[in-house]
Each structure stands twice: as C-alpha cells, then as structure tokens.
Amino acid sequence: MNYPFWDIPHLGSGWVIGLIAIYHVMISQFAVGGGLYLPMAERKAMRMKDRAIADAWMAQLVRHSKFFLILTGVFGTVSGVGIWFAIGLTHPEATSTLIHNFVFGWAIEWVFFIIELTTVAVYYYTWNRIDPRLHLTVGWVYAGASAATLIIINGILTFMLTPGDTWIAVAGTGHEASKFWNAFFNPTYWPSLLLRIGVCTSLAGIWALITSSRIDGDQQPALKTSMVRWSVKWLVPSFVATPFLLAWYLFMVPETQRTLLTLGIDTIAGGTFSTVTRIALIIVITSATIVAVAYYLAWRNPADFNLSHAMAVLLLALIATGSGEYAREMLRKPFVIGRWMYSNGVRVPSIARLNTEGYLAHSNWVWTAPDGAATSSYSRGEAIFRGECGSCHTMYGYRSLLRLMNGRDRAGIRNFVVMLHDDKPDSPYHKFMPPMTGTPQDMDDLTEFLNAKVNPPAPSRPKPLLTAQR
C-alpha cells in the first residue's frame, strides 16, 4: 500500500478505466484501420477510368478524412490521456511496473504518435493543394505510423496477461528491463496482434459506413453504392479469420486463465455461466448480427442504407469491442500482471512477508493519532479493505461487499476472510480473487470493519416522555 487509494463510490475505479478504455479502443483502433482505409481508397479513386465517379470518390474522401481527423485527433487523443490518468490512480503499482519495464517502448510509441498527429493534419489540409502522388504518400506515412503504435502497445498489453517465464525469472531482481524483448514478444503477442489488426480493419469499414450513409442515394446512387459496398468489404477479413486467431490466442493463454472461459462452457447445461463465458457469447452474437445487418442492409440495399442503419452497426461494434476488452481483462484474474502482481497491487513474492509483518506495517497511508494512541480495529480494517479489496469491489455499488456478505454474522464474515487468506485450491474464489494477506490481527481488523458495515448496531430507541398524572 505505497500509494493513497482512489475511491469511486458505487461505480468503482476499475469501471472508470473500463468505460474510458472501451471508448478509446473504438477510436484508436479506427485510427489504425482508418489510416489504411484512406490511402487505399484514394489510390483506388486515382486508378478509376471514369473521372466523374473518381472525382465523386475524392470529394467523399475529403469529407471522410475531416471526420477521421476530428474523431481520432481530438477524441482519441483526449481519451488516451484519460486512460493514463485512470490507471495511474487505480493501479499505481502495476502502472509503475509497466513504465519501468517498457519506458523505451513508451518513448518510441510517443514518437510515432506525434508523427500520426502531424501527418493526419497534413493529409486533410493538403487535399487538392499538393501533387496527388505526394498527398497519397503522406497518407501511407500516417498508415505506417499508426500501425507502429499498435505494434508497440500490443506488446505491453499482452505482457500483462502473459509476461512469460523468462521475465518472471528475473522479476523483482532489478534486472527486468534486461528481458525487455522477452517480455514484449510474450506468448500471446502474435495472435493478439493479428486479432487487433482484424478489429482495426473492421472498424475502418464500420466507421466509413457512418459517412457513406450520409451520401444522398437519390442524387448520387452510383457513388453511394460503390462507397457503401467497398466499406462493407473491410469487415470480411476480420470475420473470416477471427475464429482461427481466437483459437490460437486461447491456446497461448495459461491453462489457469483459460479455465475461466471453459468453466462456463462445460457447465452450460447446468446453467453455471462464468462471467467470461457470458461475455464470449455476447461477442459471438453481436459479431454475427453485424455480419447479417451489413449484408442485408448495406450490401444488398446500399442506396437505401441510412445513418440510423449505420449507427445500429456502430452500436453493435461498440458492444462487441467492449465485451472483448472486458473479457481480456477478466482473463487476467486474479492478477493485473500475470503470475507477478495481483489485481490489488500485491506482488506474489510479498505474500509471505505481509502475512508475517502485517499488511499495514510499511504503509504511509494509515492515520495515527497525534498523541501516539493506537488506531481502532475498525480504522485499520477500513485501510485494509481499501488496499486489498477496493480496486475490484465497492461497498454499496459494483461488486458490492455488502451484497457479498449479506446474511452473514460476525463469525460467518470471519470464516470468509480466513478462507480468502488461506487461498486453498478448492476455494470457489481461488481463480478469481487475490488471497487476503496479513496477520491474524489484520484478519480480525478486516472482519471488524466488514461486520460493522453488514450488521450495524440497531439505533437506540428514545426514552418515552413522562406525562403528568391527573
């Protein structure tokens, strides 16, 4: 507990990251796929023999590039900063590990990001002002820079799930950076990269349907038909390759994490769905619906494809993307960095020391009375709750501890805390929750705090007023 705790009532700090991340991923991956879409569409228009339709394509691409510039350059950038702000407050220990291990990678990513911001602005503002081939080259430079950011970020994100045996062997020694490339090209790097490239191309087509749907189909039927259908084609590679890439990705995920998914699949008949399984089913259903809507509404009837249809496809894509990111986060449970750091920031090798010395023994964020008086058991329990439970649970809202503890008396709460502390393999929470660390006194303190919340003392009744006797 080296950092103060960021308390977000009801929603929880984890969902702050999640909401910003889902919003950001929808835009940032469009920035990669759309960066490829624009120069390829421009090259296609330059090669058209019919100059009328070619000029119409170019005019439409100018409008689309303006939409692209505003969405990615403004909203994508701001949400990216928001993610840094949120993860630094919610998971400071994990963020510190990522920065120390990948500082070189972050620096290179920011170089490419600056190139992105520069070239996308140059690309839009130089339409019809510079030589067409030079303008196309600017588009390709942007596409390369945006792809480079994905290549770098993917290595850091996949490291959090599968840091690899080589990095784990040196973790905690101070020589972690010497295994930079082993950590970067970790076991799930390549399947995850190809999956994300597929998502990027799909989002390029889906966002392009937004601008293409606004073309007047009565006045420009040929332009709208060609633009809508060409945009739909961008969805095909992803949906064809995704099942195979997903199987490869799951094969590379550690067995302990993969069971979070297979548990729900194996017990469907019994109705025991794990959260990851539910999310996986949502991804399958929404992806299939996107294919159906894109084919029947866009491909078969492009001239009648309107903005409401395009927004429906975008909403489905948002659900699928959000579900995918949530499932990826859930697969890491109970870790934030696989096999090294639990989701509450406690490092795996620190468990034995904390169980001996106490969870709060070295914390700078526990209040002590000015006169040196000891803090109450309740106060210590609250600090333990914030540090060990608060990154995933709230007291009254998301993953409510009150709901989890509901109906338990003090002895039942104590037994639950002991079960989390012992962390036996047959515990129903072993695969999802970090072990509760600390001494028997820490367990008593946490029990005292939870019991006070779950079973508050009944309010005392006011004494009846005395009335005068006649």
Is the pLDDT confidence value at 8 over 60? yes
Lowest mean pLDDT among 98-102, 123-127, 348-352, 430-434: 430-434
Q: Give dist(CA 186, CA 188) in Å, integer.
A: 6
Lowest mean pLDDT among 12-26, 139-153, 255-269, 426-440: 255-269
- Helix, strand, coil: what percent of the chain each, to 5? 70, 0, 30
Those residues with Cβ within 8 angstroms of residue 94's Cβ, 6 or more apart along the chain or in another chain: 87, 160, 336, 337, 341, 345
Interaxial angle between packed helices 275-293 and 255-266, expressed in degrees from 0 to 180 and rounded to the nearest 10: 70
DSSP classification of residue 465: P
Give the pLDDT mean for 22-27: 95
Q: Give dist(CA 146, CA 149) in Å, integer.
A: 5
Is the pLDDT confidence value at 398 over 70? yes
| pLDDT score of 327 | 86
How would you write 63-94 as a 3-class SS string? HHHHHHHHHHHHHHHHHHHHHHHHHHHHCHHH
Q: Give dist(CA 324, CA 327) in Å, integer.
A: 5
Is the pLDDT confidence value at 302 over 70? yes
Those residues with Cβ within 8 angstroms of residue 72's Cβ, 6 or more apart along the chain or in another chain: 27, 28, 30, 31, 34, 120
Is the pLDDT confidence value at 188 over 90? yes
Give the pLDDT mean for 205-221: 96
Note the pLDDT tens digit of each residue in 89-119: 999 999 999 999 999 999 999 999 999 999 9
Note the pLDDT tens digit of each residue in 73-91: 999 999 999 999 999 999 9
Q: Give dist(CA 178, CA 234) in Å, integer.
A: 40
| pLDDT score of 461 | 67
DSSP classification of residue 306: -
Is the pLDDT confidence value at 22 over 90? yes
Residue 264: pLDDT band by 50, 70, 90 thresholds? low
Q: Average model confidence (pLDDT) for the chain?
A: 91
Q: Give dist(CA 188, CA 276) in Å, integer.
A: 18
Note the pLDDT tens digit of each residue in 367-379: 665 555 567 899 9
Is the pLDDT confidence value at 168 over 60? yes
Is the pLDDT confidence value at 2 over 90? no
Is the pLDDT confidence value at 463 over 80? no
Q: Give dist(CA 105, CA 270) in Å, integer.
A: 46
Residue 469: pLDDT band by 50, 70, 90 thresholds? low
- In this structure, the number of other CB atoms found within 10 A of the CB of residue 9 comes to 10
pTM of the model: 0.91
Lowest mean pLDDT among 74-78, 144-148, 281-285: 281-285
